Structure 1
Amino acid sequence: MCRLWGPCQTILLIYLMIQHPGYAKRPVVMVIPNYNKILTGEKIMMTCGVESDPSECSWFHENILIYTGKDYVISMADMRHSGEYQCQNSAGERSEIVTLNVTTGQVILQAPVYIYEGDDVSLRCYSSYPAKHTIFYKDNRIIQNNNSDLLHIKSTDLTSTYRCSKQVLTTFNKTYSSDDTIITYTDLVESDSVIFTPEYNKLLTGENITMTFNGGFGTTNYWYKDYEKVAEGRSYTITSAQVGHSGVYDCRTKGKNSAQFRLDVSDGPVILQAPPLVYRGSDMVLRCHSRPGYRVISTTFYKDGNAAQPSTNDRATVIIPQNQQVGRYRCTRTLSWEEYVTYTDEVSLHIRELFSKPKISIVQNTVREGDNIICNTSLSLPQKRPLLQFTFYRDRQKVLNLNSSSKVLNVRLEDSGNYSCEVRTANNTVRKRSAELYIRIQELFPKPNLTTIQNPVTKGDTMTLICNTSLSPLRRSTELQFAFYRDGRNVQRFNLSNQYEVLSTELEDSGNYSCEVRIPTNNVKKRSEEVSIQIKEYEHSTAALVTISVIIIIIIIIIIIILISVNKNKCKPLITSTSKKQTADPQETESPRVVSGEGDVCYADIKINHKAPATHTASNEDLCYVNFATSRTASSPTVVETQVIYSEIKGRTEI
């Protein structure tokens, strides 16, 4: 984890500029150190990450142009540098706003400039002074108390409020004033007085004092405080005086008592010490006294409200000349000291959106099978380019095998329903789900139908298969590709033709044929039902031959009638026909019947022979030959005048 902007952030930015140039167009502000809060007097540098000429970068503070150049440096920050910053590239595009907070606090809780959803974050409790005992709080509850200045936070805890405390060694300077002390002359003789060691009757708590009676030698002395006996002996010592030791004291003996005097013990930082008894004709020494451990900055004495004499001497004594001593006195002293003071600071983290809430969208208003459903979202800033994973749901059920980096879902005809999508980071720290959208999937083209121009097909014939389907009227521009199969094996790869043609069929072309139609993306593919096609050999059909023979006979009869008409009806024709399947000579026929009557008589002999003359050698054809003869006499079996007509008729059975 990089807590400050350094090599890792620089490499990340360069990588993003290379891999995602579209995202790198908007400049990015990089802050060193990478914290959104600093103390006054510290240095901070902001760099404008741009692809264009760095010299053309412009910097704005609170939307006011302040500097031109790639790096903007604040050498000694003060509170006027707080606010919103942006940099702008030569194309006029501005970075996202970066907020800087400059404070005079003793302790600050620092967070990174950029915090995104799903980030793990490190907070720093910082002070520029000597400090100890750092404590972190989450929602006012202690979560870390190990004197470490860093707190590592998981991405799931970023919405809480965090606070830290630290004991900072702090220097204080303060001016204190003593109580007033009134000085008057005493008429007591010195033998009646009490001697104080030290020689003042005012002291601070915790100090020691010894009081000694000047008279009463050789007798027992008793010490009284506020008329109650507290000690016995010529001297009375108070160790570590307390405020309760203040009061009126005197010393008593059998023959003589001392004068009463007052002892004051103060718990304040500063006191004015004066002699307990002031006699005329002698100088008076006053002392401004403060507790040990404080450094004295200055001392000033006052008499009757007027400054008498300043002093920087640590003892801070002043000598008041004789005959000028009566009056009201006090002193002031400015003290300096250091102590550990607990300071706190808190922060509510500003979490930037890593990516927007996804939304289901479609390319066209009417969704057809093979169309794409898109899960749209957008990333916030270029330096964060996480791997996002998309999951689609239909009717609140997860669409299988789509938990991937693809944000596109291809739909089928049966996939109508309520759709939503979910986007999450690879580590599953950020998840967002779209609203539901009902999508009805319509057919792009119907299931194809395979047809053939002729069926059955005879060997050697041309066979043409046609794959029939039709596009939706709104998708006429969609390209369709066709493929053909025989017995499940491809015989014609996908192309734009919906026909499959075999120019000369063979027996092995028989089989179960089907066709398949698809779009170029292969998202929609449909196959027809199978059609059985059998290629057949040639077959000899007796019925066909008989039919052809009858037709030929009819034709011949018509020809004979025409010939007879040409002979001017000179003879009355008598036709005797014989049809046999034989191999004899055409003259080997039955004797014609004789018809008596007037006029010329024509005799006709017709034979139908299936045997071909010697001039024909083809063996794969059925041939029918007709011999036709006419005669004018009937007395002799020999035909005198003969006309022979050969007619070649080829018969073929087509299936």
Structure 2
Amino acid sequence: MVIQAGCSNFTGAIFPHIVPNRLQFFEYESVSVHCEVDNNITEWRVKWKSHKIKNASHTSTSPCKIYPIFESHSGEYWCENEDGIKSEALNITITAGFVILETPTHPVMEGNEVILNCKNKKTQSEHITDFYKDGVSLGTWNQSSMTIKNVSKSDEGLYKCSIDGAGESPESWLAVIKQSKAGFVILEIPTHPVKEGNEVNLNCKNKETQSEHITEFYKDGVSIGTWNQSSMTIKNVSKSDEGLYKCSIDGAGESHESWLAVIKQHHPAPYNKTDLSHEVPKISHDEFPKTLILLWTVICVLLVDLLLLLVGLLLQNKYKVSACFSSAQGSHSCEDNTVLQEEYTQVSYTSVQKELKVSREHIETVIYSSVN
């Protein structure tokens, strides 16, 4: 089996698109599944779940081309984006037999014309065909196709056909949706996905009037309820609110369905204490006062040293002046007192050193006691 896949970016998908445009195929044919949407914003992928093989599934970029195709490829096919937003699913059936039924792949509008074609793999010529709806025979046609004119909801159901001598086709679902009144009703809905927890307003608009009106809202084809106004509000929206919405106004018609997409609220990743790249050195409350005391103690030591040095210099100068003054009155000259000055300087320096040593010892004791 060869699977060829291209890559496209889409948003707003409702149904996948099948090429060729049918839901039944013979084995060994080629089929492509595309995600048909409005804008090129988000990447969509084609997903399918097999009907033949239990728990078998597959994901591919869009478009997804499968050749050759086998019965095992029968299943549900849909489009899904990276946020988990899904389109409607289509059931594709592959048969090893010789008869298939060609039906519309997407829902048809009430009032339109529908053609069902019974195809024989062995021949392209016309043949007598029996058609069935929900297992009940609709009759025999002298040609390979039947036409349903002015189709209605009552025509919705499972169809198949049979050709004498060739066999019977698988069943396919024909979906019919109600016709709105010439497009007089539209549903205003957010164009982009909304985040969980936000508030969403859906407004049902009537082309004929701007006044308020009684409105019925639907989600995934099921009535939500009737409002006495043209809008409804979904507060604290969640993923469970995601789906196809439409509205109807009595006497005006029904809107088309539109997809409301909801994405999960993204939260920042929790701080990982083991991640050293985010570690910031911190000083504890117990260590901070000790550090401050130590800093101030060092400053005080330096100031005391400077003060004692200044005292020593002042004492030295004072003695020198006293010695010179006394020499003028006595027998000694100023030069003779130089020796006395030097001796006193030595004594003064020694005493200053002792005082500095005592001061340092006292300060070290204070630092040790404050830190511990």
TM-score of the alignment, normalized to the shorter chain, above 0.5: no
Q: TM-score, normalised by structure 2?
A: 0.41
Higher fraction of strand: 1
Greater per-residue helix proportion: 2
Q: Whose radius of gyration is greater, 1 or 2?
A: 1
TM-score by length of 1: 0.24
